[in-house]
Amino acid sequence: MTASIISGTEIAKQTRSQLAKEVAQLREEGVAPGLVIILVGDNPASLSYIKGKRKASEEIGIDFKLEQFPESLSEEDLLRVIDSYNEDSRFHGILVQLPLPKHIDEIAVIEKISPEKDVDGFHPVNLGRMLTGQKCFLSCTPAGIMEMLRIKGVDPAGKHAVVVGRSNIVGKPVGQLLLKENATVSYCHSRTRDLSSITKQADILVVAAGKANLITGNDIKPGAVVIDVGMNRNEHGKLCGDVAFDEAKEVASLITPVPGGVGPMTITMLAYNTVEAAKKTRS
Ligand code: NAD
């Protein structure tokens, strides 16, 4: 069997064009959705992610602002900046680009963002709302994964979903969203014994470990749906996922590539959340 490819690029394009229509409508109603990204320092990877976020925002019609500060910015000053954007009605979404310099407490920063403007979905209020099935901003990568599954007609109900990785921004939330859709969910992580014996049971396998080639064709159940979140550089400096794609596509039924899979959807869901935040401010 050769798997069909889930093109995140294609799905993102369709979603963005739908969002652009919604933004045009919002603007007619006098609401111009706005997103501010706060960057401390000049980490090249962060700058590259921000470039993608700016491009998607501008394509959709969202007002985009990058607020960049030197690496030396104090935590106190950063918290003050966040507060000023919490109060600024031109910006419906606030995103503080991670990672932050070591002298700044990431948790304090995330908690400072108003949950109503937390378009990254990292604030504990949004995570708690997600856990209890309430309406909230979902973190963008898990939301993008669920949207791809929905569009591809993959219903998680009754399926065994295995998530490799338990980070707060990807692994844990995507497992919870799969659970909400009635999958039976197993989490694997760096302390899991005999990883392959568990991944081989997965009808839906989500891999978010950040280790190139962690999952090979032998670790996948024939016909499984494989979502590769990983973003790594191989020995030639080429972007690759956590799944050995060429082998895996001979075993899976559906698979996401890297690049062109989860990445474009993550950025699109950020725009989606920003538009949702703007909608809520309509009188
Ligand atoms: P993280 O480093 O916070 O977490 C990695 C997780 O993988 C940990 O829970 C760890 O226990 C687990 N893990 C590590 N080695 C393992 C092993 N050998 N076996 C089993 N589990 C193992 O990473 P993260 O922030 O969740 O990101 C994971 C990957 O996804 C990274 O490559 C990151 O760049 C990528 N990512 C991509 C997007 C996107 O939009 N495409 C978004 C976020 C993260």
Query: Is residue 143 in contact with ligand 1, taking CB distance under 6 Å?
Result: no
Ligand 1 centroid – CA 209 distance (Å):
3
Query: Is residue 46 in contact with ligand 1, taking CB distance under 6 Å?
Result: no
Kindly indicate the confidence band of residue 139, based on its pLDDT and cuts at 50, 70 and 90: very high
Can you read off the two tokens belonging to residue 30? 């006098």
Nearest CA to ligand 1 atom 40: 263
* Cα dist from 79 to 34, 46, 83, 180, 191, whole Å: 20, 20, 6, 34, 36
pLDDT digits (tens, 9 = 90+) for 165-199: 999 999 999 999 999 999 999 999 999 999 999 99
Mean pLDDT of 216-233: 97
Can you read off the two tokens belonging to residue 155? 């219903």
* Of the candidates 169, 154, 160, 156, the residue with the CA atom closest to the CA atom of residue 208: 169
Please state at what angle helix 44-60 crosses helix 8-28, rounded to 10 degrees. 50
Q: How many CB atoms lie within 10 A of CB 207?
A: 30
Q: Which domains does the chain have, with CATH numbers?
A: 30-114 (3.40.50.10860), 140-263 (3.40.50.720)
Mean pLDDT value across the chain = 97
Query: Is residue 173 in contact with ligand 1, taking CB distance under 6 Å?
Result: no
* Of the candidates 76, 140, 137, 148, the residue with the CA atom closest to the CA atom of residue 112: 76
